[in-house]
Each structure stands twice: as structure tokens, then as C-alpha cells.
Chain A
Amino acid sequence: MNAYLALTWMSFKNRKVYKLNVFFRVCSSVLLIVVLREIWTAVYGSGASGLTVTLADMLTYSVIASIIRTLIPSDFHYDISQRVQTGDIVLDLQKPWSYLAMTFFRTLADLLFGLVYVVIPIAAASLLLFPIGVPTGAQAVWFVLSGLLGYGIAFSLTFLVGLLAFLFTEVGGFGMIKSTILEICSGAMIPLWLFPAGAAKVLELLPFQGVFSIPISIYIGKLQGAAMWHGLELQLIWAASLLALAQVLLVVFNRLLVTTGG
């Protein structure tokens, strides 16, 4: 078996060891969906204007946002930081693999795991409790592609935070800044079209919207045709540049890495 795929498979098996953890992940996602549905129903019921999309689309938006949130790699910088702290990072750096690719294929196991053990239960629950629209045909294909590009962006952002551990060891603070920025600027909570026009224009140039706003907008059919192509293009450019940046910084920071003791 290919080394990286073997790694994904091992991480996947490793994940399965702690099954209770999964149950709570599903619970927290369902809880968030319920809360967001109530909020948006109240907002739409208050007769506010300029909401752009229908309530049904908005509810779908928040369900998909919750699912994406459970699937994207957002906290493996803690693992990197911990391994720098204990010095175990030398084991990862010593192996005949690319550290970047190794980390990617390890987190990919979480995606697989999430798809099987989190998304399917949530999808089943939401279909039963609060039905949402499901795209078909080409739209579904573009959504999946867009989601994968978004995954690449989210991975790179977390990896970059993790790399800071090579210099600073402890990166919890950086991680929190990243999570907050991602949560606000990506449209995860509030769609970008509800932001003031000026702010929305800036946010549409940044990588963060590629993780949530673009794929979800494709899902609900708000982003179509030329606008969709533009969105996918933007995602691709950001995913590629962030990965390239991660690789360059990995090489630079690796030289600066200090591991003392044992």
C-alpha cells in the first residue's frame, strides 16, 4: 500500500478506538443546528428586510455550515505543538516522508471518519427532523469539489498555525485567533451577503470564505454560472498558495527548530 494511504488508514483505525468521543461530536453538531434554526426562523419572522435568500435556503445554509465545521481540520495544531513540546516531533521529521503530506494524509482520516460517523448520522437526523434541500447533478459535483478545496484551505491555515510551534512551542493563542477569524470572516455563522457592502468586498478576497461561504452558496444554488467559476477559481488559488506557503515555511522553520534533551 502507498505510504500515505496506509497512514490515512492507520489514523482512521486509531480514531475508532475512542467511539464515545464521536457520539458527543454528533450531539454538539445537532444541538448547534437546532439553535441556529431557531435563530434564523426568529430573524425571518421579525420581518427584517434585505435577507437575500429564503428562510428555507437559510436553514439549509446553517445545517451545511454545521456539517462542514465538524469535517474541516481545525485543531491539529495542538498535536504539532504538543509534539514539539515533548520533542516527539523528531520522530516525525526523521521518517522518509514529506512532513506536510504526512500531516495532510493523517488529517484526511478525520475527514473520512467524520463522513462515516458524523455526517451520516447528522444527515439522517436532519432529514427526519428538519428536511433540507439536496442538490443533484452538476451542482452536487461542484459542491463536493468546492468543499474539498475549502478543506485544503482550512488544512493549510491550521498547518501554518501548527508550524509556528517550531518557533514558539505553544500555539494555543494563535489557534484561537485563527478560529475566531475563520468563524467570523468565512460566513460560517452569518452569510457574507448580510455584512456591510464594504466589509463583504474585502472578505470576498480573503481565503476564509472559501471554507464555508463558497461551497454552501453552491449547495443552495445561490452561486451559479460565472460567479460559481469565479468562486472555485478563488478557492483553487488560495488553496494552492497557502499550501505552497506552508511548504516554504516548513523548510525555513525546520532549520530553526530547537529540540533539546533526551
Chain B
Amino acid sequence: MAVIEVNHLIRDFKIGGGGGGSLRLLHRLLGRSKTLKRVVDDISFTIEEGDFVGYLGPNGAGKSTTIKMLSGVLVPTAGIVRVLGLEPFRHRKANAGSIGVVFGQRTQLWWDLPLRDSFKLLGAVYRVEPERLQRNIALFTELLDMGGFLDTPVRQLSLGQRMRGDIAASLLHDPKILFLDEPTIGLDIVAKENIQQFLKQINREKKVTVILTTHNLDDIERLCKRVIFIDKGRVLFDGSAEGMTERFGGQRYLVLDTEHFDERTWDGPPIARREDNQLWFSIHDDKEIASMVAAASERVAVHNLTVKEPRIEDIIKQLYALGEA
């Protein structure tokens, strides 16, 4: 079942000129210096229940704007957004009850009060029955290891602790869909792994559909079954994480360091790429490797050989480059 449908979604921002502040009133009244910027430009995708989707793209690509439209905070300029069959902006309250949102750079927790108090308030706001709330708090406290700081004022928490608190807070009402906007930004490796483990678990056990924006490559590798890559408001890639690897530099290479290579007389295996004294051969099947090495070493002196695995950094770089083109 598709839980999210996005169809030809467009969002423009009017960027007012003349700086901020009250003077913008004059500019607006005079209708001057308004420029229209298309932040989301004809995006379409559907997301199935239980998916774990990485929503990727460089800064300013339109990721957060899409998430704001999915959570009903921003109204689309054109196109259709449906979350569990409802248009989020029109049915903001109903939609809010079935989704959880974490904006990694903001907090929905009460700064000066203990974490536990924020949980209780959210329980009341989302009308979660007291027993279910207690159960969820206990469960998340255990999974996210929050026991040590549940009664500490949020302003005294470390970033990693606060982020765990924020993620738990967004799940107290058992939402069907969880939007995470950079939940691992600025976290150390331990906090990051704890959160990744947790997200994997709620996706698997509670069947929560997760949409995650991130710049952390290991988030993608460890968590995302599917990747949607956007840039300048457009979808550049939409498919499985393996599909992405295959299509963009997914190739594995046999790399030989040689000397005295002459392209004109070469009659060995086809060369995919050449970098100075390195020869790159595409590997389609592991069985080829031995014969390739043998064939190459008959023709040139081989000093070293390595097999290059696809690296997700390279793939992302390629995708970014695709956006620039």
C-alpha cells in the first residue's frame, strides 16, 4: 500500500528584496523586487508502507521543503501530495496524528524542563492513552538508552542525548510514518550508531515507514532500502540503494599498476580507464579476475594489483556532478 504519493509537486518561494524587517512592508506594498524561486520543481514519487527511504541531495536541493509539505506546514504551489490518502495542508491535524517529524537542527523539547515533561505534554497533545504512553516511554528509554537523563532539563543534555530525546518524542503517538530531517547531524559515532540501530528496529518491528534526509553516508549504507536523490528541486535518481550503486560507479574494478604500457599495441582485456600508470579493468564476474591478471601480466610488468569496490562517496559525488551538468 502506498502511504505517500507525490505527484508533479511544485513549490515556489517569493524572495523579497530590500532585506528583512519592517521596511519589507513598503516593498511588498509597492510590489517591487520580488523574485520567484522554484525550490521544488515537478517532483513525483510514491512510498510504500514499511519502506526506509533516503531522501538525498546537496544543501538547498529542496529536501526540507518537500518534508515540510509532507508534514502539512507548507502549502504546495502546484501538484498533489497525499499522505495516507489525505492532503497534509488541508488536513493538517489529522495528518499530524499519523506522522512523526524530527527536524534535526531544531528541537520540539522544552528547553528548561526535564525530558520526561516534554514526553508527557506530547502524550496529551497527541491524545495518547496513559498506559500506551508509559509503555512507549519505557520502551524508547530502554532502546535509546535514555534512563540516565530522563529527568535532566533539556538544555543540559548533550547533542546526542537531545537528538535521542527528539526522536523518541516524535514516536510517542505511534505514527505510521516518520520524517527525519538530518537526525544524525553533528553526532559522534556512538550516538549515531545507537540512533541507526534504533531506526532500523522501529522500521522492522513497528513497521514504521521512514523517510530520512541526511548527508551522512553511513546512514544510507546501513539503513536505506531505497534512495531518492534530488537536486535543484528535481528528482535525479529514484531506486533501490543497490540500483544506485550499480548505476553510478557501481562497477568494481581490477586496478593494475604497470610500466611501459603502450595503448597502440595493447591486445589484452579491454581497458575501462587509464590513470597515469594505472590500468582499470571492469569486473563483471569474479571468475574473470584470474584470467585478466594473467593476460595483463603477459603483456606488461605488473607492480601491484587491487580490486576497487564501489564507494558510496563516489556515487554521491557523481550524483552531485549530475546535478551541476
A residues with a Cβ closer than 8 A to B are 1-3, 6-7, 10, 13-14, 17-18, 86-88, 90-91, 93-97, 167-174, 254-255, 257-262
B39 touches A174 (CB 8 A): no
Partner of A97, one of B71, B74, B93: B93
A94 touches B112 (CB 8 A): no
Which 3 A-B pairs give the minimum distances between C-beta atoms?
Answer: A6-B124, A96-B96, A262-B105
A96 touches B93 (CB 8 A): yes
Complex interface: chain B residues within 8 A of A17 (CB): 112-113
Complex interface: chain B residues within 8 A of A259 (CB): 68, 73-74
B103 touches A91 (CB 8 A): yes
Q: How large is the interface on B (under 10, 10 to 19, 20 to 34, 35 or more residues)?
A: 35 or more
A95 touches B39 (CB 8 A): no
B130-171 interface bits toward A, Cβ cutoff 8 Å, 1 = contact, 0 = none: 000000000000000000000000000000000000000000
Q: Bound state CA distance, A170 and B124, in angstroms?
A: 32
Complex interface: chain A residues within 8 A of B112 (CB): 14, 17-18
B residues with a Cβ closer than 8 A to A are 13-14, 20-22, 24-25, 28, 39, 64-65, 68, 71-75, 92-94, 96-97, 101, 103-106, 108, 110, 112-113, 117, 120-121, 124-127, 181-182
Interchain residue pairs with CB less than 8 A apart (26): A2-B124, A3-B124, A3-B125, A6-B125, A10-B110, A10-B113, A14-B112, A18-B112, A87-B106, A88-B106, A90-B68, A91-B106, A94-B92, A95-B96, A96-B93, A96-B96, A96-B125, A167-B24, A168-B25, A169-B21, A170-B22, A173-B21, A255-B75, A258-B14, A261-B64, A262-B105
Complex interface: chain A residues within 8 A of B21 (CB): 168-170, 173
Q: A3-B127, A6-B125 are known contacts. Are A258 and B20 too (CB-CB below 8 A)? A: no
Q: Bound state CA distance, A224 and B151, in angstroms?
A: 53
Q: Bound state CA distance, A88 and B121, in angstroms?
A: 18
Q: A14-B113, A94-B101, A259-B68 are known contacts. Are A169 and B20 too (CB-CB below 8 A)? A: yes
* Cβ of A238 to closest chain B Cβ, rounded Å: 25
Q: Bound state CA distance, A87 and B97, in angstroms?
A: 21
Partner of B97, one of A91, A96, A172: A96
Q: Bound state CA distance, A87 and B68, in angstroms?
A: 11
Q: Bound state CA distance, A95 and B95, in angstroms?
A: 9
Q: Which residue of B lies closest to A85 (CB)?
A: B20
* Cβ of B95 to closest chain A Cβ, rounded Å: 8
- Beyond A97-B125, A167-B28, A262-B104: 18 further Cβ-contacts under 8 Å? A3-B127, A7-B124, A7-B125, A14-B110, A14-B113, A88-B106, A91-B103, A93-B73, A96-B126, A168-B25, A169-B21, A170-B20, A170-B21, A171-B22, A259-B73, A260-B65, A261-B64, A262-B105
Q: Bound state CA distance, A116 and B314, in angstroms?
A: 62
Q: Bound state CA distance, A202 and B28, in angstroms?
A: 31
Partner of B125, one of A87, A95, A257, A261: A95
Complex interface: chain A residues within 8 A of B72 (CB): 93-94
B121 touches A10 (CB 8 A): yes
Q: A6-B120, A14-B113, A17-B112 are known contacts. Are A258 and B13 too (CB-CB below 8 A)? A: yes
Q: Bound state CA distance, A257 and B126, in angstroms?
A: 25
Which of A95, A97, A173 has the largest count of B CB atoms less than 10 A from its CB?
A95
Complex interface: chain A residues within 8 A of B28 (CB): 167
Q: Bound state CA distance, A168 and B127, in angstroms?
A: 34
